[in-house]
């Protein structure tokens, strides 16, 4: 981490005298190779390191900062996803789901437990840039779901 003098000056100018306290001054510390992302709304800059962008979670502040990044963020293929929600528990599908994941290493598959209407369930999310790979995993998952007689539910 390094202290960024330019960042300090931006924040010092933003806050009223006496408001730029010790806690707020900690915001001037950034990773060694960070690039500042100016914040026209609340003063506190974000930063980027290579292809990682650290921005605030407040939607209006985030939106105000995105304009300054139009030449920095390079788009790629959109990530597609499909969710299958099941009336089961993760332990019942873990081995079968692991087999599907092992056969489809270039597809991201996650399982997420949920509790809805007093019943447990698991949502399986399949992500890829390639719809045919999602469709293939979906078929493999639905096969073991049907074999195990697990109920598919709408969420």
Q: Which three-class secondary structure string do you get for 52-112?
A: EEECCCCHHHHHHHHHHHCCCCCCCCCCEEEEEEEECCHHHHHHHHHHHHHHCCCCEEEEE
Tell whether the model's pLDDT for residue 42 goes beyond 90. no
Q: Please name each of the domains of the chain with its CATH number.
A: 2-69 (3.40.980.10), 80-153 (3.30.70.600)
pLDDT tens-digit series, residues 66-87: 887 877 787 788 999 999 999 9
* The predicted structure's pLDDT at residue 132: 98
What's the predicted TM-score (pTM) here? 0.61
Q: Given this model, what pLDDT does residue 57 score?
A: 82
């Amino acid at each position: 981490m390094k202290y960024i003098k330019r960042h300090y000056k931006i924040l010092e100018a933003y806050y009223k005298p006496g408001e730029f306290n010790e806690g707020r001054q900690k915001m001037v510390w950034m990773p060694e190779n960070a690039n500042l992302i100016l914040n026209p709304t609340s003063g506190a800059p974000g930063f980027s390191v290579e292809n990682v962008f650290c921005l605030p979670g407040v939607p209006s502040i985030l939106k105000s900062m995105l304009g300054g990044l139009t030449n920095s963020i390079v788009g790629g293929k959109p990530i597609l996803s499909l969710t299958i929600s099941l009336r089961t528990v993760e332990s019942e599908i873990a081995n079968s789901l692991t087999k599907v994941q092992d056969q489809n290493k270039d597809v991201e598959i996650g399982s997420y437990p949920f509790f809805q209407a007093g019943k447990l369930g698991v949502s399986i999310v399949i992500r890829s840039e390639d719809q045919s790979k999602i469709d293939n995993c979906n078929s493999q998952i639905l096969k073991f779901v049907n074999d195990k007689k697990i109920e598919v539910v709408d969420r």
